[in-house]
Amino acid sequence: MDVKMKPQSLVMVIFGASGDLTRRKLIPALYLLYKHNRLPENFAILGVARTAFTDDEFRERIHLQLLRFVKPEDVNEEKIRSFVSLINYFPMDPADPDEYLRLQPRLLKLDQMIGNGENYIYYLATPPSLYGVIPQYLKNVGLNLSKGPKGNKRIIVEKPFGYDLESALELNNIYYKDAFREDQIFRIDHYLGKETVQNILALRFANTVFEPVWNRNYIDYVEVTAVENMGIEQRGGYFDDAGTLRDMVQNHLIQLVALTAMEPPTAFNPDSFRDELAKVYQSLTPLTEKDINQHIIRGQYTASEGRKAYREEKDVAPDSRTETFLAMKLSISNWRWSGVPFYIRTGKQMPTKVSEIVVHFKPTPFPLFNCAERTCPTANLLIIRIQPNEGIVLKFGLKVPGSGFDVKQVAMDFSYSSLGPIPTEDAYARLIEDCILGDSTLFTRSDAVEACWKYFTPVLEYWKNHPESPLYGYPAGTWGPREADMLIQEQNAEWS
């Protein structure tokens, strides 16, 4: 498979095929690609997990799941039936190295049936505890490296990639120093597959008006918010161990910071783009204990208005100190951003689901006009709405019609929906297709993962070593602890 070339044939092996991610995201994404003729001509899926299914039982299950998880407008019974016929199942325990001796001939046989290309993509949708062993066991049976001119092996690894710096380094050692080359590894963060997240790049680098003011001279501070109104659903076992910092901040939120803060890449290719992202992570000002105490607020939702407390959720310890909310102030030590705080905020059981970046520009040097409203905007705002109502809003002051010279805030509001139906481009579909094409631009590189963990691991260690450090309760359905409001009030501001 050359970069950006679709192979003639491909087998996608999904480890964790009986799980939630496969059911809700991967299979629907693959179906969408199939429906739009974007999969290789000869394509098969091999689902792998310990649960015993025959091929037919697994196909039946996938069929029902597709009807449930695909949007009604995308359901096409005939297409679903033909897609499902591409799916096969292989029951095995991925933690047992001997099982790979059985997997290898099964995979080869399937490959021979569809074109003998020996192109395989392995998707790791298992518990993270297996992320380290699967590549090694694949390597043991020679399923890791391309053999001669034909065949290419790629591996997609789900988040979280590592639990802290040490485990991320260990994983990286296994992946790109031992079992696979860096260009075969696709560490997925589905945020980067979102159309609106990619549009941050277009907004910044396809226009000239923003770039001259996109720096410490004109920007006062930046807010990055990604909150949701749901709890942890059925994922208590995973979440209680991980917490919000690992689940959301170390990957999604910091990606949004990096896309906002990065320098323009010299070209839009995987190396240049990821070089610039990595530089942002490396420039994050290291957090001292004082910073952790003063600039990171963690919270946990409590019962409110019929909503359960976090500690009452299934598979959560009744005395859990896991954070379901985090707000923090971070800074970036480079010429562009020195002195500009980035405030980030994420939480579960908030009043609504919203992801957005708000760039607050500095006010004019002095106020020339009266304000027509109490909250007079003396500064411009650029809001990049990632979801919902995807769009971009520029707020600025304008004269109130009539006598006098009062100024009020108005908005130029661009909504993606005005372009017609928003492409139902699913983030997973986009990223899986990129992997098929061999394009790793939107996947996280090893140096970026390490730099992020290097930045956040002291926080995790501090919390572990200081169990008395505050964890504020907030009623489910509210905007988090008031201490988070106080954090941003230092800036004489409120969360947008």
Determine the Cα angle at 427 with ends 283 and 459, to 5°.
35
Does position 125 interact with ligand NDP (CB under 6 A)? The reply is yes
Asked if residue 20 binds ligand NDP (CB under 6 A), the reply is: yes
Q: How far is the CB of 156 from ligand NDP (least distance, A)?
A: 11
Determine if residue 464 is labeled as part of a ligand binding site.
no
Does 275 appear as a known binding residue? no
Select the span of 17-25, 403-411, 432-440, 463-471 touching ligand NDP (CB under 6 A).
17-25
Sign of the torsion formed by the C-alpha atoms of 290, 291, 292 and 298: positive
Annotated binding residue 308: no
**Binding-site size, ligand NDP (CB under 6 A):** 19
- Reduced 3-state DSSP string for the chain: CCCCCCCCEEEEEEECCCCHHHHHHHHHHHHHHHHCCCCCCEEEEEEEECCCCCHHHHHHHHHHHHHHHCCHHHCCHHHHHHHHCCEEEEECCCCCCCHHHHHHHHHHHHHHHHCCCCEEEEEECCCHHHCCHHHHHHHHCCCCCCECCECEEEEEECCCCCCCHHHHHHHHHHHHHHHCCHHHEEECCHHHHCHHHHHHHHHHHCCCCCHHHCCCCCEEEEEEEEECCCCCCCCHHHHHHHHHHHHHHHHHHHHHHHHHHCCCCCCCCHHHHHHHHHHHHHHECCCCHHHHHHHEEEEEEECECCECCHHHCCCCCCCCCCCCEEEEEECECCCCCCCCCEEEEEECCCCCCEEEEEEEECCCCCCCCEECCCCCCCCCEEEEEEECCCEEEEEEEEECCCCCCEEEEEEEEEEHHHHCCCCCCCHHHHHHHHHHHCCCCCCECHHHHHHHHHHHHHHHHHHHHCCCCCCEEEECCCCCCHHHHHHHHCCCCCCC
Name the segment binding ligand NDP (CB under 6 A); options: 124-132, 260-268, 343-351, 404-412.
124-132
Is there a binding annotation on residue 413? no
Q: Does 50 bind ligand NDP (CB under 6 A)?
A: yes
The least CB distance from residue 158 to ligand NDP, in Å, is 4
- Tell me whether residue 435 or residue 488 sits nearer to ligand NDP (CB atom): 435
Report if residue 21 touches ligand NDP, rule: CB under 6 A: yes
Which parts of 131-160 interact with ligand NDP (CB under 6 A)? Answer: 158-159
From 1, 11, 45, 49, residue interacting with ligand NDP (rule: CB under 6 A): 49
Return the residue of 3, 5, 51, 494 that touches ligand NDP, per CB under 6 A.
51
Instruction: Decide: is 16 part of the binding site for ligand NDP (CB under 6 A).
Output: yes
- Cα torsion 384, 390, 392, 398 to 10°: value is -120
From the list 43-51, 390-398, 445-453, 461-469, the region that binds ligand NDP by CB under 6 A is: 43-51
Contact stretch for ligand NDP (CB under 6 A) within 126-134, 308-316, 444-452, 466-474: 126-134
Active site residue 252: yes
Q: Shortest Cβ distance from residue 130 to ligand NDP (Å)?
A: 6
State the residue number with the nearest CB to ligand NDP: 19
Is residue 127 close enough to count as binding ligand NDP by CB under 6 A?
yes
| 216-275: contacts with ligand NDP (CB under 6 A) | 238
The one catalytic residue among 252, 295, 360, 466: 252
Residue 126 interacts with ligand NDP (CB under 6 A): yes or no: yes
Closest contact distance (angstroms) between CB of 17 and ligand NDP is 6
Report which residue type is found at 75: V
Q: Which of 7, 28, 40, 94 binds ligand NDP (CB under 6 A)?
A: 94
Min separation Cβ 64 and ligand NDP, Å? 16
Minimum distance of ligand NDP from residue 468's CB (angstroms): 29
50 is in an annotated binding site: yes
19 annotated ligand-binding residue: yes
Contacts with ligand NDP by CB under 6 A lie at 16-21, 49-51, 94-95, 125-128, 130, 158-159, 238
Q: Residues marked as binding?
A: 16-23, 50, 159, 190, 194, 228, 247, 348, 353
Q: Which residues are catalytic?
A: 252
**Annotated binding residues for substrate, as ranges?**
190, 194, 228, 247, 348, 353
Q: Which residues sit in the known binding site for NADP(+)? A: 16-23, 50, 159
